[in-house]
């Protein structure tokens, strides 16, 4: 029987279509799909630093900030050369006839994940991935000082199908003067849940899933990797912090270590065991200047590009998932031998 399942964070329904279901192993191909490097001069490589706009931050593998002339860098943060948003514009709306317009105010930064020309996150070591997470938190704490910025999205597109415009592995940070519609929805959904149940939806998910043990893939001291109950996409995977807190930038040192272990495990799984699909991942974190501590719980979502949204999904906003999260969790655990 196809089933409507409710996502308790977004407070919306999805369809788990077990009738037309694909077995998780059907997404696996014979060979790992590796895109051929384009061979073009890459602005993100060591030695080509002058090809990017003036950098914001440069760090070595130890996580120390180093001088802009030091060639031994592991990670750099630069403003996007073709930004979707600009920091110079003034906030505030104007009218254009019946329409509203606002200057495209905000920040659009690029985090060059590695000084080597590497295409896939799985080709980086866990300490290198930990450094990327460190930089995410560090940039957020810095961006937070600007009271005009209300919300931030941290994301990574990997592979052509995920919309990565440059093949060299990089992350992006968008800072907005308001909450994105998805964040608004999550804030409303979790507030509604909090009022009804006097508890945080994500904390309750963690409790329930630990008891059920059908969708949890892995856990360590501070994080849980899980297939969401109301999964919207085949192999959609979340990493949830066990500690309740709304804002990612408050992640501790030990948590960063734990998170990097989860992220490394996950990207290695997709690379080695699922033929390296393109994917998008992002961090949903609470607004920077509005307190949402009691009901919001930051989290990480990874969506591999394994299916295409068709008319029904676009027209209704109801996603159809053609795998069950229970089968997928089982499949991943078998492959990872955990």
Residues that bind Zn ion (CB under 5 A): 42, 44-45, 117, 168, 200, 202-203, 244, 284, 297
- Closest separation in Å from C-beta 182 to Zn ion: 7
Which of 107, 114, 33 shows the shortest CA–CA distance to 74? Answer: 114
Residue 260: CB minimum distance to Zn ion, A: 20
* Least distance from Zn ion to the Cβ atom of residue 205, Å: 9
Smallest gap from residue 279 Cβ to Zn ion (A):
15
| Cβ closest to Zn ion, residue 193 vs residue 269 | 193
Whether 289 is a known active-site residue: answer no
Which is nearer to Zn ion, 202 or 239 (by Cβ)? 202
Name the residue with tokens 């706009």. Answer: 53
CB of 35 to Zn ion, least distance (A): 13
163: left (phi over 0), alpha (psi -120 to 50) or beta: left
What is the rounded CA–CA span in Å between residue 188 and residue 183?
9
Classify strands 320-321 and 12-16 as parallel, antiparallel or unpaired. parallel
CB distance 306 to 275 below 8 Å: no
Distance CA 243, CA 31 (A): 39
41 secondary structure, DSSP code: P
What is the arrangement of strands in the sheet containing 12-16, beginning at the earlier edge strand? 3-7, 12-16, 320-321
Q: Give the residue with the Cβ less far from Zn ion, 135 or 206.
A: 206
Q: CB-wise, 199 or 220, nearer to Zn ion?
A: 199
Rounded CA separation 216/326 (Å): 9
Active-site entry in 108, 117, 168, 170: 170
Beta carbon nearer to Zn ion, 130 or 297: 297
Distance CA 148, CA 214 (A): 43
Q: What angle do CA 322, 323, 327 make, to 5 degrees?
A: 165
**Alpha helices (runs of H) in 162-252, residue ranges in sequence order:** 181-197, 201-212
Q: Which residues are known to be catalytic?
A: 170
């Amino acid at each position: 029987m196809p089933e409507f399942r409710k996502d308790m964070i977004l407070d919306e329904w999805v369809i788990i279509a077990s009738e037309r279901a694909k077995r998780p192993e059907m997404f696996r191909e014979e060979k790992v799909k590796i895109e051929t490097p384009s061979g073009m001069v890459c602005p993100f490589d060591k030695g080509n630093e002058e090809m990017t706009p003036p950098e914001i931050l440069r760090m070595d593998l130890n996580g120390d900030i180093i001088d802009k002339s030091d060639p031994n860098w592991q990670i750099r943060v630069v403003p996007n050369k073709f930004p979707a948003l600009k920091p110079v514009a003034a906030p505030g709306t104007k009218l254009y006839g019946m329409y509203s317009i606002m200057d495209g105010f905000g920040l659009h930064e690029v985090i060059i994940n590695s000084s080597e020309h590497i295409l896939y996150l799985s080709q980086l070591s866990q300490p290198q991935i930990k450094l990327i997470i460190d930089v995410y938190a560090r940039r957020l704490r810095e961006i937070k000082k600007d009271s005009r910025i209300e919300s931030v999205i941290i994301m990574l597109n990997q592979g052509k199908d995920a919309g990565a415009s440059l093949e060299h592995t990089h992350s992006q940070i968008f800072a907005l003067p308001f909450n994105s519609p998805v964040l608004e929805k999550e804030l409303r959904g979790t507030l509604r849940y909090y009022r009804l149940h006097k508890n945080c939806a994500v904390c309750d998910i963690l409790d329930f899933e630990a008891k059920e043990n059908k969708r949890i893939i892995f856990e360590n001291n501070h994080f849980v990797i899980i297939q969401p109950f109301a999964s919207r996409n085949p192999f959609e995977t979340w990493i949830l912090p066990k500690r309740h807190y709304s804002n990612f930038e408050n992640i501790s040192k030990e948590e960063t270590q734990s998170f990097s272990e989860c992220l490394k495990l996950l990207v290695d799984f997709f690379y080695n065991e699922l033929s390296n699909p393109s994917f998008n991942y992002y961090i949903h974190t609470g607004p920077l200047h509005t307190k949402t501590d009691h009901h919001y719980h930051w989290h990480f979502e990874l969506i591999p590009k394994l299916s295409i949204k068709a008319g029904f999904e676009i027209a209704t906003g109801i996603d159809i998932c053609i795998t069950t999260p229970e089968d997928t969790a089982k499949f991943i655990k078998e492959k990872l031998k955990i």
